[in-house]
Amino acid sequence: MALMGISLGLLFPGNLGAMSLVSGSGVQARVAGMNAIFQGLGMATGPITGAVLNSASSLAVPAAGVGLCLSAAIIFWLRCKAHDH
């Protein structure tokens, strides 16, 4: 649990800082609000989704994690590629 707390303590401020640097000054409050909404949704639905996946198969949770990471990497790569052109 301590490792989880440390991880979240490092992740959340960095995440919000990066979003504030990318967004313009007129939309920083909106970006911070959206960040808080989706953090709450993730914390509420994550354990439920994990329990449902785990009841289906013990490999479903790691497989879903790998799939989400690959999807995020592909989206990030495509967005970076689009900005280069």
Cα separations in angstroms, 28 against 23, 41, 48: 6, 20, 31
Domain count, the chain: 1
pTM score, whole prediction: 0.64
pLDDT of residue 11: 87
Can you give the residue range of the structural domain that contains 56?
2-84
**Regions of the chain with pLDDT less than 70:** 85
pLDDT of residue 1: 78
pLDDT of residue 66: 96
Provide the 10 A C-beta neighbour count for residue 32: 14
pLDDT of residue 23: 87
